[in-house]
Structure 1
Amino acid sequence: MDTAEIRRRFLDHFESNGHTVVPSASLLLDDPNLLFVNAGMVPFKPYFLGQETPPYKRATSVQKCVRTQDIEEVGKTTRHGTFFQMNGNFSFGDYFKEGAIELAWSLVTGSVEDGGLGFDPERVWVTVLPSDQEARGFWKSVAGLPDERIQDRGLEDNYWHMGVPGPGGPCSEIYIDRGAEYGPDGGPVVDEDRFLEIWNLVFMQEELSQVRSKADFDVAGPLPSKNIDTGMGLERVAYLLQGKQNMYEIDQVFPVIERASALSGKRYGAVHEDDVRFRVIADHVRSGLMLIGDGVTPGNEGRGYVLRRLLRRAVRSMRLLGYEDPALPELLPVSRDEMSRSYPEIASDFARISQVAYAEEEAFRQTLAKGTQIFDLAADSAKAQGATVLTGDKAFQLHDTYGFPIDLTLEMASEQGLAVDEPGFRALMAEQRARAKADAKSKKGRHADTRIYRDALDTFGPTEWLAYERLSTESQVRSIIQESGRTPAVGESQIAEVVLDRTPFYAESGGQNADAGVLVWDGGRAEVLDVQRPVRGLVVHQVRVLDGELTEGTALQADVDPQWRVGACQAHSGTHVVHAALREVLGPTALQSGSYNRPGYLRLDFGWSSALSPEQLREVELAANVALREDLPVSAAVMPLERAKELGALALFGETYGEDVRVVEIGGPWSRELCGGTHVSRSSQIGTVVLTSDSSVGAGNRRVEAVVGLEGFSYLARERDLVAQVSDLLKVQHDDVPGRVADLVGRLRTAEKEMEKLRGAQLLSSAGDLAAGAAEVDGVAYVGHVADGLAAKDVRTLALDVRGRLDASRPGVVAMIGTADGKAACVVAVNDAGRAAGLAAGDLIKAAMESLGGRGGGKADVAQGGGTEVTAAPQAVEAVRRAIQGAV
């Protein structure tokens, strides 16, 4: 049974039993505790935590998940993977233990002909918490399992919570006996290779007040309503039903291994080290495909860094298998063909996905070339100092700064006869991970902050939100919140959060800034600083009281600043216009991946692998302003999500959408996007669109910035004034400014070249005098000289020229120090006779650097460095003299 069919059967089973089928949420969920969605229940957390009211009593889903804590372990065993799919069914105060067990048992053991999975009931084992005799009883009465196949396990295995105060409860795990060839008998408490867990049923029934560890927590009491949360590993079930050994051999994964094998000429199953690489490739290619599909782009931090590591590890593994051509164009389409059966959007969006992935591989190929040069310098330096080990901090620098994989460093070091301080490298990596974990831990518990908002929502009901309809309304204060909690009043100059019964203020979302404005009441006034929706249905205003006192129950007038709103509408509609113009000029793969807009300004991130040419920027700007001139109608309509997809409405990656969505059109199909923002009513009201910059925000992702409306006109006016000033200075007409400036630049460059020649001649003329004045230091001809105003490039030229003029038959050393711009540049050069006498420039320059307060290095013939202690240049020259005396 293939994986897509198992997925279909799971959803059909629960849908036929009254569950609402909920599509997989994006891997990028707005959760401060998570980098990616890592479990099937994550999208339902607000319901389990009581932050939101679930729209259904029963739900089922197959959720895309990514876990990243074990990336470096992927492939070493067949248990670790990054991307996986979690089948789940959920009950919110509806059925409980008996219902969950009955539904699971009927699917697991139901016949294939009747839509079940067809597992032999005699091969099913389960575990329960020892104190949960209720669950044990249901397994016996519902499933008919004997006591010996219902095993007790402790809190570490059979109690679930989220690691923070909140819901928790016992769980019951379902295992399948794979047979005697996989290990000893005796159930999962004896061997979890033979007895493989496929499903965990969580019975949420308790409220936890303190959580210290997995098995150490305090129970505050029972939950108001009991809930069910289950998770079935789709890949695990797939390899059991497909008769495979592990998740890497199932139909959705193994074709990538087959393709990698064909490309590399290596056979999977022949050599363990190669098998590890094959598994890394298969896992990371699929994970990268799904992450890019959900809008992640490669970067140097957070989610982007995880994606970058995955793609680069896959490429590197192909290189280790002997394949050095671009690999992702060969492998990514294979994964697309398998995954698109369950996720059709992967195929329809593949042009964008592949553009991002292939750009990252090309960037990595360039990184490998650059990193190799850095490695060579580090290796040469180590060997010049007589070292046999490359330091851990150098290996870490190669990894962290240049993206150079440690396995590549190990391999190349071995080729040069060097070892690598792996313990030192691992220690630095551990420190980095510890900092990341500490940062993540510091973010935990934020869900508790929403309880006060949830209480306000439960007490007063949802805020009547009027932002689309009006800019002003009468309202009443429902609740006032400060850091210490709810308060009855706030006075002048104090800042607080205010919940109103109705509001015209737009709350920040979808990249649009919140509205500005004021709250006015009899005897007082407050400035609105920010507007947010901390829980669905509740709008919270952060205000500063300007006059009077604001108390709960106060009747007031809520007024949005009309000029602010006009500018915000212009900017948000302008964002849609720029997006449509980009797609018109560059093609449909130029899809938005993020945006931000405030009155007069917008920025838009989109998938694209190279900088836009000046011609392309002009075309995009022209297309946007043509749309403004055509005075296109702007409309918004709420419709079912499926209908919006049928119309081709574009969605922002990483956003979570409900069953009904708001579609904003500008000129009908020319621009059609899912959007909750405020907009102008006709495109001409945007005024103007002026693109101000194009920059990179990661491989395969660009950012354009623009100003609109009056800010756009002001920007053009400043440009006009600047041209006028230059025109006046040059005494030419405006149209002649570029030609005149080009002429001046050409003449300046010619003059600089002439000055460079004169400076070179001057240097050469001084070289002879410096060489002739060489001092005798223990049989070595030594030239030590400080040249004020000489830059590093010229210092090196002069030092080498002086060395060339010394008597080649006797040892000679030149130490040249140039001082310019508050810095000292030092070059030490040793001739052949000097090196034969045991002198090395790389050693001598260290003496100079101690005085100059900097670092330097190089080879035996030439070394260079720099420092900040300019006034110590004479002492540095003398330090080199003393070093010569001690070396010969």
Structure 2
Amino acid sequence: MQTHEIRERFTNHFLAAGHSVVPSASLILEDPDLLFVNAGMVPFKPYFLGQQNPPFPSGKATSIQKCVRTLDIEEVGVTTRHNTFFQMAGNFSFGQYFKEGAITHAWTLLTDPIDQGGYGLDPERLWVTVYLDDDEAAEIWETKIGVPTERIQRLGMEDNYWSMGVPGPCGPCSEIYYDRGPEHGADGGPAVDDTRYMEIWNLVFMGKERGEGTGKDSFEIVGDLPKKNIDTGLGIERVACLLQGVDNVYETDLLRPVIDAAQELTGATYQGDGPDAVRFRVIADHSRTGMMLILDGVTPSNEGRGYILRRLLRRIVRSARLLGATGETLEKLMNVVMDTMTPSYPEIAENRERISRVSVVEERAFLKTLESGTHRFDEAASSILASGSTHFSGEEAFALHDTYGFPIDLTLEMAAEAGLEVDRAAFDAAMSEQRARAKADNKAKKHGHADESVYREWVDNHPTEFIGFSELSADAKVLGLVSHGRSITEAKEGEDVEVILDVSPLYAESGGQLGDRGRIISGTTVLEVNDVQKIGKRLWVHKAKVASGGLDLGQTVTAEVDPDWRHGAKQAHTGTHLIHAALRQVLGPTAVQAGSLNRPGYLRFDFNYTEQLTREQLAEIATIANQAVDDDMPVNTIETSLDEARKLGAMALFGENYGSKVRVVEIGGPFSMELCGGTHVEHSSQIGPIAILGESSVGSGARRIEAYSGMNSFRYFSKEAALAANLATWFKAPTEELPDRVSQLSEKLRDAAKQIASLRREQVLANSGKLLDDAEHVGDFTLLTRRIPDGVTSNNLRALASDLRGNLHGRPAVVVLVSVDGDDKVPFVVSATKEAVDLGVNSGDLVKQLAAHLDGRGGGKPDMAQGSGSNIAGLDDAFASVRADLVSR
């Protein structure tokens, strides 16, 4: 029984029992405790915790939830029962049925005959466990279900009591195990050997409430829940092992094809145990998990979910290389995974190109890392061997890891092959030291400074006095000059220098607002300031170029802000506040700022939100923001304590670290109130018009709005108006009629395209009889291969292939049609009569052969399959491959 059928039977079983079918949630939920959904009940937590009422009229639900657990990535493949990605089928009751209902539902599905919708498992091979004192569950199993007493075992809290690890719902469990036979282990039931006796279903009787405590068994049961709930989970992959007659999850229909593809790519053979077998299993497991993560919007990065994905993808590449692969592997592996998973997750089909692109880009980047690291390893190994030693130092292994991103396990493998022994203890020590340095170095890296110690004296004893909120010019003294990380005493004409002043009116970059531009002058000396950065939150570092004259330490100067720059920056920054307020009005309080960039005339605003905004939402946001501009709201600033600011209702943004005194920017009373240290206009009308340019995704759960402010908005609107005027002239219609005119023209073009397609189809179908004259006899089959005139769509090809197949019924025949559509794509279709299918022909397999020659992909059923490629030059070879296939039968 294929895995997708196992899923369907589970869903149908509980649908028939009155459960609401709930689609799988994304692997990424807004849960601060989880990187990924790791259990089937996670999406239902708010209902079990009483935070929300279940939205299911029956009070019962069922789902097959995507899950990922990555705590022990290194252990993947060592055992053959666990995967990082798995599918947890569950049924849930919220105050409806309890122990007897849950047990009956589970037993019926497991043991009912296959022709009655069940899994057909032998009840004599099923064992159950219950909690130590759960006499009620034991009684149900024995008297209601008929499980012999000797196959009911009682286990303690470690095994048979469930909670979420925190105060809240909990309850005893009953688990169902399948006896795989004496060849898999010792007699005695799951209490003796949980390898022979495989757990397949866990029933949680959630009727109690737990108190504080740690671990699985060191907490107090404080009482009963108001309602008794049921949370059960059946492992789809484990049931697939049993129903497909294989020993482990890697032999099932979802993962074995990936291992087979890995064998083709590497030339190695998957058999038995040992390092090679583990690597094959790593490839299979991680390929599927990586694909599902990319499907749900995760992209490789160096932190959080993206880092987990990067580790998975790189472990695939690394394992394939160790097995003998020499080229790229991820595209083929991902295609195989997508083929196996699409029947259960149809949305994969729409995301194939994106999934493939993300994985290929990551692999190519990592292969460059491996290439450079391998070269460095070879040099080091040669030097060590030439000296007569076999000791590969931990420091050298760490340098490979730190400088080249070379994985330690690959270093260990290559060293062993070269007869060298790596000092792993020294490597681990170096890694620990690096982690200790990471936090200290992080801040310096953000500011682009190799070492901040050069600024320490000024940070501690001479912090900058910023007067830029009220002044655009100030007399100041040069306290320090820095060049290339060193303190200097003078800067000459043409040199770049960092200038530290005792007083400055120039704003230092923070809160998303770029640093001011301006000048530092003294007599004939002029320095153009192109950036201002803040060190230690106390010191302003003016990055400047000496345009004329020279500057000496201790010199008195005048620092001036470029007024046009500041005006534009204030407009953009204040406009960001209006956009934020408008967003929250339209989308609700969950749309919180996650980052911003403000420069004169332009703003970029990132916010946490999981869905693309509609045109109507964007228009409403723009209207609210510009209405706030037109209302000429006063912009006030208040300096107060953080606690007082919070009492006022001011928003603190995305994890900023605020001091004891904060600056609250309030616009129009309740319209907007945020903690912000930036520069702002005095009245909202001074922002000028705000032109929203668009909205896009910047990662999983994060969106971005870009907009112009002030004169940039005016220029943008003017350009748009000129474009509309030109179109109005071309269409000879008023601008307000343009949408209708464009729509009418588009409709006419679509109709014309449909008519052309219809005429082509009719023409091709009219000539279908003549096409049969070209059929040839290949072995026991009739074969028709034909390139159809260009411009015929895939739908028309399919209709023609179906028509031709109908004319060939009664004999084993195969029809192969190929065309080139208007977008230079190469659609192709394979159709086989029933007689051909009975002789073993599979159109889906033949389509994949065509795809290999036409640089495309495809799939389908045995009697009809289709695909699309991009290389018509491979047509002759594609047809030849089909002929060869039929001849061989």
How many angstroms does 1:728 deviate by? 0.8
Per-residue Cα deviation, 1:258-306 (whole angstroms, up to 9, x for no partner)? 2xx59x9989xx9997999999xx9xxx9xxxxxxxxxxxxxxxxxxxx
* Matched residue, 2:763: 762
Whether contact under 8 Å (1:771, 1:802) holds in the other structure is: no
How many angstroms does 1:399 deviate by? 1.6
* Matched residue, 1:471: 472
Q: Residue 738 of structure 1 aligns to which amino acid in structure 2?
A: P
1:260-409 mapped onto 2 (5 Å cutoff): 321=233, 393=283, 395-403=285-293
Per-residue Cα deviation, 1:685-723 (whole angstroms, up to 9, x for no partner)? 111223333445566654433322112222222222222
* Matched residue, 2:627: 626
How many angstroms does 1:853 deviate by? 4.2
Per-residue Cα deviation, 1:770-794 (whole angstroms, up to 9, x for no partner)? 2221122234222222235346614
1:402-441 mapped onto 2 (5 Å cutoff): 402-403=292-293, 438=405
* Matched residue, 2:884: 882
Q: Residue 255 of structure 1 aligns to which amino acid in structure 2?
A: P
Q: Residue 167 of structure 2 aligns to which amino acid in structure 1?
A: P
* Matched residue, 1:362: none
Per-residue Cα deviation, 1:352-402 (whole angstroms, up to 9, x for no partner)? xxxxxxxxxxxxxxxxxxxxxxx9898899999999999765643432232
Q: Distance in 2 between matches of 1:817 and 1:658?
A: 69
How many angstroms does 1:563 deviate by? 0.9
Per-residue Cα deviation, 1:224-249 (whole angstroms, up to 9, x for no partner)? xxxxxxxxxxxxxxxxxxxx999x99
* Matched residue, 1:534: 535
Whether contact under 8 Å (1:450, 1:535) holds in the other structure is: no
How many angstroms does 1:736 deviate by? 1.8
Whether contact under 8 Å (2:831, 2:843) holds in the other structure is: yes
Per-residue Cα deviation, 1:26-72 (whole angstroms, up to 9, x for no partner)? x99xxxxxx9xxxxxxxxxxxxxxxxxxxxxxxxxxxxxxxx98477
Q: Distance in 1 between matches of 2:544 and 2:287?
A: 47
Partner SS state of residue 571, structure 1: helix
Whether contact under 8 Å (1:636, 1:663) holds in the other structure is: yes
Partner SS state of residue 401, structure 1: helix
Whether contact under 8 Å (1:592, 1:604) holds in the other structure is: yes
Q: Would the alpha carbon gap of residues 703 and 854 (structure 1) be closer, same or farther in structure 2, given more than 3 Å must change?
A: closer
* Matched residue, 1:717: 718
Per-residue Cα deviation, 1:746-796 (whole angstroms, up to 9, x for no partner)? 222222222221122122123322222112223422222223534661474
Aligned: 1:635 with 2:525? no
* Matched residue, 2:566: 565
Whether contact under 8 Å (1:490, 1:545) holds in the other structure is: yes
Q: Distance in 2 between matches of 1:251 and 1:766?
A: 69
Per-residue Cα deviation, 1:329-361 (whole angstroms, up to 9, x for no partner)? xxxxxxxxxxxxxxxxxxxxxxxxxxxxxxxxx
Partner SS state of residue 596, structure 1: strand
Partner SS state of residue 875, structure 1: helix
Whether contact under 8 Å (1:823, 1:867) holds in the other structure is: yes
* Matched residue, 2:166: 254
Q: Would the alpha carbon gap of residues 319 and 507 (structure 1) be closer, same or farther in structure 2, given more than 3 Å must change?
A: farther
* Matched residue, 2:670: 669
Whether contact under 8 Å (1:634, 1:665) holds in the other structure is: yes
Q: Distance in 2 between matches of 1:457 and 1:322?
A: 63
Q: Distance in 2 between matches of 1:833 and 1:735?
A: 62
Q: Would the alpha carbon gap of residues 826 and 69 (structure 1) be closer, same or farther in structure 2, given more than 3 Å must change?
A: closer
How many angstroms does 1:724 deviate by? 1.1
Aligned: 1:831 with 2:833? yes
* Matched residue, 2:742: 741
* Matched residue, 1:691: 692
Q: Distance in 2 between matches of 1:393 and 1:799?
A: 41
Q: Would the alpha carbon gap of residues 840 and 656 (structure 1) be closer, same or farther in structure 2, given more than 3 Å must change?
A: same
* Matched residue, 2:659: 658
Whether contact under 8 Å (2:506, 2:516) holds in the other structure is: yes
Partner SS state of residue 167, structure 2: helix
Aligned: 1:583 with 2:589? no
Per-residue Cα deviation, 1:624-644 (whole angstroms, up to 9, x for no partner)? 233222322211121111111
Q: Would the alpha carbon gap of residues 554 and 245 (structure 1) be closer, same or farther in structure 2, given more than 3 Å must change?
A: farther
Q: Would the alpha carbon gap of residues 643 and 614 (structure 1) be closer, same or farther in structure 2, given more than 3 Å must change?
A: same
Q: Distance in 1 between matches of 2:163 and 2:836?
A: 68
Q: Would the alpha carbon gap of residues 740 and 255 (structure 1) be closer, same or farther in structure 2, given more than 3 Å must change?
A: same
Q: Distance in 2 between matches of 1:598 and 1:726?
A: 33
Work out the percentage of aligned pairs sharing the same amino acid: 34
Q: Which runs of 5+ in 1 are unaligned?
A: 1-26, 29-34, 36-67, 75-243, 287-317, 325-374, 417-424
Q: Would the alpha carbon gap of residues 741 and 785 (structure 1) be closer, same or farther in structure 2, given more than 3 Å must change?
A: same
**TM-score between the two structures when normalised by the length of structure 2:** 0.53
Q: Distance in 1 between matches of 2:864 and 2:261?
A: 12
Which residue of the other structure, out of 827, 840, 843, is the alignment partner of 1:841?
A: 843
Q: Would the alpha carbon gap of residues 573 and 550 (structure 1) be closer, same or farther in structure 2, given more than 3 Å must change?
A: same
Partner SS state of residue 738, structure 1: helix
Q: CA RMSD in A?
A: 5.1
**TM-score between the two structures when normalised by the length of structure 1:** 0.53
Aligned: 1:852 with 2:854? yes
Count of paired positions: 548
Whether contact under 8 Å (2:784, 2:814) holds in the other structure is: yes
Partner SS state of residue 539, structure 2: coil
Aligned: 1:872 with 2:870? no
Per-residue Cα deviation, 1:560-607 (whole angstroms, up to 9, x for no partner)? 221111111111111112222333455444443433322222233445
Whether contact under 8 Å (1:845, 1:857) holds in the other structure is: yes
Q: Distance in 2 between matches of 1:679 and 1:456?
A: 32
Aligned: 1:604 with 2:494? no
Q: Residue 731 of structure 1 aligns to which amino acid in structure 2?
A: K
* Matched residue, 1:731: 732
Partner SS state of residue 528, structure 2: strand
Q: Distance in 2 between matches of 1:323 and 1:880?
A: 40
Partner SS state of residue 539, structure 1: strand
Q: Distance in 2 between matches of 1:786 and 1:738?
A: 41
Whether contact under 8 Å (1:519, 1:525) holds in the other structure is: yes
Whether contact under 8 Å (2:254, 2:340) holds in the other structure is: no
Whether contact under 8 Å (2:459, 2:536) holds in the other structure is: no
Which residue of the other structure, out of 837, 861, 864, is the alignment partner of 2:863?
A: 861
* Matched residue, 2:557: 556
Q: Distance in 2 between matches of 1:648 and 1:487?
A: 47
Whether contact under 8 Å (1:507, 1:533) holds in the other structure is: yes
Partner SS state of residue 402, structure 1: helix
Whether contact under 8 Å (1:476, 1:500) holds in the other structure is: yes
Whether contact under 8 Å (1:799, 1:814) holds in the other structure is: no
What stretches of structure 1 move > 6 A for 4+ residues in a row? 71-74, 248-252, 264-267, 270-279, 375-391, 404-407, 434-437, 439-443
Q: Would the alpha carbon gap of residues 791 and 468 (structure 1) be closer, same or farther in structure 2, given more than 3 Å must change?
A: farther
Whether contact under 8 Å (1:519, 1:528) holds in the other structure is: yes
Q: Distance in 1 between matches of 2:603 and 2:828?
A: 48
